[in-house]
C-alpha cells in the first residue's frame, strides 16, 4: 500500500457514513484526523500521546503503517477536538512532519482572513 493509498483509505474511513454497529464502537466526539510521518527510530507512542493530551485533546483511534521499507511510519490519529490548530503547532514545535490533517471547525481560511483584513481596513478609514 502506498502513502497516497493509506491517506485516502484513512480519509474514506473517517468520512464514510457509519453502520449502526460501527456507531456503537465509536464515541461521538471524533472530530479531527491527523496523519504524521515519523522515522521508525523516533516513533514513541507515549510522546505522541503526551503532545496531544497537553493540548486538551484525546486520541480516539490510531493506525500505523510502515513505509519506505520500514524506515518511516505513517501514524493516523483521530482526535476528539474540533480545532486542531494548537495540536498542529505542538507537533511542529517538536519537529514532527504532518502529512495531512482534517478538522471540522477552526483555523481561519485564507478567504476569511482576507475579509477580516478588509473589514479592519474599512474600520480604520
Burial 85-100 (b: 16+ CB within 10 A, else e): eebbebbeeeebeebb
**Of all residues in the chain, what percent are helix, strand and coil, respectively (each to 5)?**
45, 25, 30
CATH number at residue 99: 3.30.70.260
pTM above 0.85, yes or no: no
Number of domains the chain is built from: 1
pLDDT greater at residue 125 or residue 42: 42
Give Cα separations from 101 to 6, 69, 78 (angstroms): 13, 24, 10
Question: For the chain, what percent of residues have pLDDT higher than 90?
Answer: 30
Which of left, alpha, beta for 56 (phi over 0: left; psi -120 to 50: alpha)? left
Q: Alpha-carbon distance 63 to 7, whole Å?
A: 11
Q: For the segment 72-114, what is each residue's pLDDT rounded down to a tens digit?
A: 998 989 898 888 888 999 999 999 999 988 876 655 566 666 7
Burial 12-41 (b: 16+ CB within 10 A, else e): eeeeeeeeeeeeeeeeeebbbbbbbbbeee
Domain carrying residue 84? 3-124
The pLDDT score that the predictor gives to residue 106 is 58
Amino acid at each position: 500500500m502506498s502513502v497516497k493509498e493509506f491517506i485516502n483509505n484513512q480519509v474514506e474511513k473517517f468520512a464514510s457514513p457509519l453502520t449502526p454497529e460501527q456507531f456503537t464502537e465509536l464515541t461521538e466526539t471524533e472530530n479531527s484526523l491527523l496523519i504524521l510521518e515519523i522515522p521508525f527510530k523516533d516513533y514513541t507512542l507515549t510522546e505522541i500521546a503526551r503532545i496531544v493530551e497537553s493540548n486538551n485533546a484525546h486520541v480516539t483511534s490510531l493506525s500505523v503503517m510502515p513505509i519506505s521499507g520500514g524506515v518511516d511510519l505513517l501514524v493516523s490519529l483521530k482526535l476528539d477536538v474540533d480545532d486542531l490548530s494548537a495540536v498542529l503547532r505542538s507537533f511542529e514545535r517538536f519537529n514532527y512532519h504532518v502529512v495531512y490533517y482534517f478538522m471540522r471547525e477552526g483555523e481561519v481560511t485564507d478567504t476569511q482572513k482576507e475579509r477580516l483584513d478588509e473589514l479592519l481596513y474599512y474600520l480604520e478609514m
